[in-house]
């Protein structure tokens, strides 16, 4: 009984603090907009973005790895790492310069060198090492870089990154394009996930370029939770779920 009274007394003491925390974080708003845990795939539109196959459109470069299979030439089949000079060592076929080739271009080049029909050659990129896209904020996993695999819409990239983590603010998602290589000012593209997913509106489904940076904001609830003492956080999260309007986890539609 004494323990029960002590626990009850402790709860009463922290209840006002949790209540203030809920109001500050916006968790009490019953109509707050958020994505369901079962988001639907992006719908078709009259003018879809120019989405290309990421692998097929990818121009190879050092130190990417490619796999080449020539049906009648096992001596030049295998996996090859592109050198700093942009070449691969194919033994009897020499060291052709392949930097900038797509898989289709690489297939044609090898077929010409081997003197065989293109249909006998299979070439694909097995390791994407030369370009990356940076990820920051509550996306599943730590802040990191992920391989760039060619022109890819930001929604597909987010799916490949693992989706959104708890605490992601879906209204504060941005792609930053540094433009360092071309000597221009950085560009910032706001991403409207709700419009992309729920309305099938592709206008902000930006096609990523190498070395773009994806920033996902953090909800006030998540930021405040980190600031609260650890002993108070469980009660805070329970009240958030009880009052509604605060998703525990957000998921993107499955990548089809």
Q: How far is CA 188 from CA 128, 192, 204, in A?
A: 25, 13, 11
Confidence tier at 254 by pLDDT (50, 70, 90): low
Confidence tier at 132 by pLDDT (50, 70, 90): very high
**Residue 20 forms part of a structural domain:** no
Residue 139 or residue 15, greater confidence: 139
H or E stretch at 155: helix 154-160
- Model pLDDT for residues 82-96, shown as the tens digit of each residue: 999 999 999 889 999
Do 189 and 142 fall into the same domain?
A: yes
Relative to beta strand 132-136, strand 213-218 is parallel
Sequence-ordered list of residues with C-beta below 8 angstroms from that of 81, at least 6 positions apart, any chain: 63, 64, 65, 88, 127
Among candidate residues 89, 109, 127, the one where a domain is terminated: 127
In this prediction the pTM is: 0.68
Q: To the nearest whole number, what is the mean pLDDT of the chain? A: 76
State the angle between helix axes of 220-227 and 233-243 in degrees (0 to 180), rounded to the nearest 10.
160
Do 108 and 160 fall into the same domain?
A: no
- Model pLDDT for residues 224-247, shown as the tens digit of each residue: 555 556 665 566 556 666 555 444
* Rg of the chain (C-alpha set): 25
Q: What is the DSSP string of 64-121?
A: -EEEEEETT-GGG-EEEEPPTTSB---GGG---B-TT--HHHHHHHHHHHHTS-GGGE
CB 173 within 8 A of CB 194: no
Strands (E), the chain: 65-70, 78-81, 121-127, 132-136, 144-147, 152-153, 168-177, 187-190, 207-208, 213-218
Do 103 and 139 fall into the same domain?
A: no
CB 133 within 8 A of CB 154: no
The percent of residues in the chain predicted with pLDDT above 90, rounded, is 45
Confidence tier at 55 by pLDDT (50, 70, 90): confident
H or E stretch at 235: helix 233-243
**Residue 22 forms part of a structural domain:** no
Do 168 and 92 fall into the same domain?
A: no
**Which domain, by its residues, includes 122?**
65-127
Among candidate residues 127, 151, 177, the one where a domain is terminated: 127
SS3 helix, strand, coil % of the chain, rounded to 5?
30, 20, 50
Do 170 and 137 fall into the same domain?
A: yes
Indicate the number of domains in the chain.
Answer: 2
């Amino acid at each position: 009984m004494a323990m029960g009274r002590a626990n009850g007394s402790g709860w009463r003491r922290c209840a006002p603090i949790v209540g203030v925390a809920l109001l500050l974080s916006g968790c009490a708003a019953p109509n707050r907009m958020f994505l369901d845990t079962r988001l639907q795939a992006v719908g078709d539109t009259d003018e879809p973005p120019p989405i290309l196959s990421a692998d097929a459109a990818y121009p190879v470069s050092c130190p990417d790895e490619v796999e080449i299979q020539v049906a009648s030439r096992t001596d030049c089949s295998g996996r090859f790492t592109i050198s700093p000079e942009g070449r691969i060592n194919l033994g009897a076929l020499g060291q052709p310069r392949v930097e900038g080739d797509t898989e289709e271009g690489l297939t044609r080049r090898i077929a010409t060198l081997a003197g065989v029909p293109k249909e006998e050659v299979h070439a694909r990129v097995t390791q994407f090492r030369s370009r990356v896209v940076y990820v920051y904020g509550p996306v599943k996993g730590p802040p990191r870089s992920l391989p760039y695999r060619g022109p890819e819409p930001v929604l597909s990239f987010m799916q490949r990154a693992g989706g959104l983590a708890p605490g992601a603010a879906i209204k504060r998602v941005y792609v930053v394009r540094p433009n360092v290589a071309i000597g221009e000012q950085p560009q910032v593209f706001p991403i409207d996930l709700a419009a992309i997913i729920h309305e099938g509106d592709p206008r902000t489904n930006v096609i990523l370029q190498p070395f773009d940076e994806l920033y996902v904001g953090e909800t006030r609830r998540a930021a405040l939770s980190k600031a609260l003492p650890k002993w108070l956080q469980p009660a805070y999260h329970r009240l958030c779920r009880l009052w509604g309007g605060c998703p525990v986890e957000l998921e993107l539609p499955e990548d089809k």
